[in-house]
Amino acid sequence: MDTENNTSTPVSEEETGTKKNKRKESKSLGREILEWLMTILTAVAIALVIRTFIFEPVKVDGASMNDTLADGEVMFISKLGYTSFQWINGRVSVFGDPQRFDVVICRYPNRGFTNFVKRIVGVPGDTIAIIDGYLYVNGEKYEEPYINDDYRTGRFSYFPETVVGEGQYFVMGDHRNNSNDSRSIGTIDRSMIVGHVVQVLLPFSSFRSVPNGLDVQAN
């Protein structure tokens, strides 16, 4: 009686090694792709943190800050110094609050995430007025040497006294005749101040620091 031959075909050691190598190569390629993706995601996350909390380049759009900043210039914005968060009893600053005469990037009520570049001229508790084109803070007249005298005239040469409320800031453009600012929109909340303009980066021919805070004195 015939019997069925169940002997399997032998596999050479070379074929077995080839299959193992292919599996290793497949695993190595998958790991490389995963590591590459993780590197990209980490870099994006770091970039977002830096952009959100530390610094960001911002381009000037418009003439409202002439002659301090020109349309099209790229500014270096420091955010770290203005970092704050909302707490039970109000907003808490981590490193400090904006100072009078700082040039800042800010947002306006009902304007979403649109950025505006302005100068803080009034901090909480200040009394602000403009008389004959000159700024008065708490009764003191400020020459503001960065203001072109041609910008002191016109319908904005006078602004009645107004008191800046708690947690609020009064901002204006340096081109006083061509700026949509607190004279028309009112004061802005501390949370609307995004960052501090420190330096003009581009074009390279215009590389310079920006006059801020302590650079401005009363008469």
Catalytic residues: 64, 118
Stretch (H or E) spanning 30: helix 13-49
Contact 164/126 with Cβ under 8 angstroms? yes
81's torsion region: left (phi>0), alpha (psi -120 to 50) or beta? Answer: alpha
49-70 b/e with 16+ CB inside 10 Å = b? eeeeeeebebebebbbbbebbe
Q: Taking the C-alpha atoms of 132, 118, 183 and 81 in order, what is their torsion angle to the nearest 10 degrees?
A: -110
Residue in 183, 200, 187 with CA at minimum distance from that of residue 57: 200
Sign of CA dihedral 180, 182, 186, 187: positive
